Structure 1
Amino acid sequence: MLYIEEVLLDDVLKKGLSSFSFIDVRSPSEFLADHLPYAVNIPLLNDEERAIVGKIYKTKGVHSAKFKGIEIVSPKIPFLMNRVKNVVNKNKKDTIMYCWRGGDRSEAMVAFSKLAGLNVLKLKGGYKAFRKFVFNFFECQLGFSYRPKTIVIYGPTGSAKTSFLRTLKLENFPVIDLEGAAAHKGSTFGFIGEPDFKHVTQKSFETKIWKDFYISNYNNFVIVEGESKKIGKVTLPNSLYTLMKNGINILVNPSIDFRVQYTLDNYLPYSDENSIFTALSKIKKYLGYRKVTELYNYFKQKQYTDFVYNLLVNYYDPLYKKSLPNKIDYTVTYESIEEGLKNVKEILVSIFDNYTISNI
């Protein structure tokens, strides 16, 4: 009899996610909606096959559904095992498989793998256990048993604040990348240049921002970008939003010339005409027909500097001023990314030091 070893999520998290390879055996659409960090998808059944088995389950019962599943999967076993073998051999780590709730799909894949001589483990409770953990983190832990000091970086559109945050993250500052997780820049035009936006779900968003907390080892500080409650099509967890509202606020505020050039260099508004026109139609109620027509003409005539300047001054800036908190603790001015990043780092180090001294 095959022995299938199960591993608990708590034990995996304590040892570290990066210590394992994860194989998600659910269908591609389930995987796309959300999955464990670092997981690869090797589906036992694709979406169409899963639908067939599900229909039989509803009409003929569990035994007929399982038999149909065996019929579908059997010819694919060598192909599936070669993919599993590649993961096991490439990563040289303990490999953990999971399905929706640690049921038949992961049980079958682990069994096939064992028969093929591949040493793999099964996640007890499957993806459902992981999702429950992430949900409980935001609902029951963040802001309660774990209450980090939150540093919120605000800045008008084109101020390079997202660039600052991502550079800080690469340098191991405890950054929670909200816009990266949402695949959205947090505005009417925010979906442009974000190919992953169409796949983002509330669950995948929460998983990604939880991962940022996790890889920072639940730091006493977290650094986030100032955002509204909603980013694109996802919503900030209440616990995180509350912490942000009570955070230490830094405003990065370069000149309008810097902002126009940065926007032209990084957001490439002229690369997707259909998206630009769709976004312009959405802001007509804010700017009025005349202003939107003026923007449209700038764009059509390839007067991109005028287009961006007027969009920033007439649309983004008035909205942004309304969203700023009443209290700004630090203001940073600069004329280059290097200068701005240097100034932000100096403030962050000062905050960290002051907090450490005050708690000695």
Structure 2
Amino acid sequence: MSVSDISHQLITDYRQLFIEDRPLVDLRAPAEFARGSFTQAVSLPLMSDEERAKVGTCYKYYGQQAAINLGHKLVSGQLKADRLAAWAEFARAHPNGALFCWRGGLRSQITQQWLAEAGIDYPRIAGGYKALRRFLIDELERLIADTPLVLLAGRTGCGKTELLVELKGTVDLEGLANHRGSSFGGQIEPQPTQIAFENDLSVNLLKQSQHAPAAILLEDESGHIGSLMLPQSLREKMAAAPVVILETPFEQRVENIFDEYIRQRLAESIRYFGEKGFEHFSLYLRQSLYRIRRRLGMEGYQQLQQMMEQALASHQKGDPDAHREWITTLLRRYYDPMYDYQLGKKARHCLYAGQASEVAAFWHQQLHITR
């Protein structure tokens, strides 16, 4: 029985697929998955990178049927049984899921057929990854053009991200990028690829659009978050968007940064690296400070570096409090002047300014009025 002899479910409603977060099996090779996929997708490839390369070479020189025959030969016996068992386990655990490969072609059809022969009728996605990616690119541009944006602005350490995730009608760009946006914003886990970030951004905007918001609240960002770039159309839209400013007392900002840069980061480093946790934590602080050395100037950088080294020495002995000294200096000499400069450069309409509870009440009122 050939692939063409069998008829199976074929999913064409991409929008609902993403809105419902339907679980997906990405059948592409691991290297393809690594370049970018979707949050709800898991990698259960039909072929390894090496197997796919061999089949591709065979296709190039000997044609499709020879490549299909080679693929069946490479993925056979116990190897086929193991991969089929993994797909079957996923399908039973996620009966509302679906399969996809690069273009919805042979790989997903073959997998679908093997599952059917094992008694599992499981749908595949028409057009595969290429069609899904095209859909999200088009939706991203449409949503950016059609949806009014409001930006949540405020000085470093004021708690913008924490407030943003508590509110409705928001998209957390830094959460999607796995980066806090500043020179100290890198996380232990790597950032997603640019493609995966854009896919996730489009899906999040798509979900928010289902509630017909009058506007979506985003954190005020530069053109990039860590190594990832915001789409050009989004950067242009954000540059003209009105702002809501979160105001937080300086002392609270120091504590917020201390909690994020010191307490949380050290705890995460210990969870990931065990006995070498403090060593990795110290390296993170040193490298983060080094990245802004030119903006600090050599004298300012060396002064902060000395403060940081003294704080790390005290911290290793059990006293982390000295970190507040260099954090205070960093805010006053670097982050606050930079914020004032950036704010002065842009003529932006401010809708509201206040502390966290006041901003939350204002935004809730806007949602209540407009919905």
Q: TM-score range by the shorter chain?
A: 0.7 to 0.9
- Give CA deviations for 1:197-225 in whole Å, capped at 9, x if unaligned: 2xx22211111111111222443221100
Which residue of structure 2 aligns with residue 336 of structure 1?
none
Alignment of 1:1-360 (within 5 A): 1=1, 2-9=5-12, 11-14=13-16, 17-18=19-20, 20-58=22-60, 61-75=63-77, 76-93=79-96, 95-139=97-141, 141-144=142-145, 147-168=146-167, 173-191=168-186, 193-197=187-191, 200-218=192-210, 219-220=212-213, 221-268=215-262, 272-302=281-311, 303-324=322-343, 325-327=346-348, 328-333=350-355, 340=356, 342-355=357-370
SS of residue matched to 1:227: coil
Deviation at 1:311, TM superposition (A): 1.7
Deviation at 1:156, TM superposition (A): 1.3
> What is the CA distance between 1:43 and its match in structure 2?
0.7
TM-fit CA distance, 1:68: 2.9
Runs of 5+ consecutive residues of structure 1 not aligned to the other structure:
334-339
CA distance in 1, matches of 2:347, 2:181: 20
Contact 1:153 1:226 in 2 (8 A): yes
Is the Cα–Cα contact under 8 Å of residues 19 and 207 in structure 2 kept in the other structure?
no
Instruction: Tell me the secondary structure at the aligned position of residue 4 of structure 1.
Output: coil
| C-alpha distance after superposition, 1:33-67 (max 9, x if no partner) | 22234122111112233233334444555444433
Q: How far did 1:227 drift? A: 0.4
TM-score by length of 1: 0.86
Q: 1:16 to 1:329 in 2, by over 3 A?
A: closer
Letter in 1 for 2:256: Y
Q: Specify whether residues 12 and 166 from structure 1 end up closer, same or farther in structure 2 by C-alpha distance, changes over 3 A only.
A: same
Cα distance between partner residues in 1 of 2:7 and 2:131: 18
Identity %: 28
The 3 A distance-change label for structure 1 pair 158 and 103 is same
Alignment RMSD, CA only?
A: 2.3
How far the C-alpha of 1:196 sits from its partner, in A, is 2.9
Change (3 A) 1:98 1:35: same
Cα offset for 1:239? 2.7
SS of the residue corresponding to residue 104 of structure 2 reads coil
What is the TM-score of this pair, normalised by structure 2? 0.83
Letter in 1 for 2:53: A
Deviates more, 1:125-134 or 1:78-87: 78-87
> Does structure 1 retain, via aligned residues, the 8 Å contact 2:258–2:327?
yes
Tell me the amino acid that sits aligned with residue 309 of structure 2. Answer: K
Distance 1:312 1:52, change over 3 A: farther
What is the number of equivalent residue pairs in this alignment?
337
Aligned equivalents of 1:119, 1:6: Cα separation in 2: 8
**Counterparts of 2:254 and 2:7, CA distance in 1:** 59
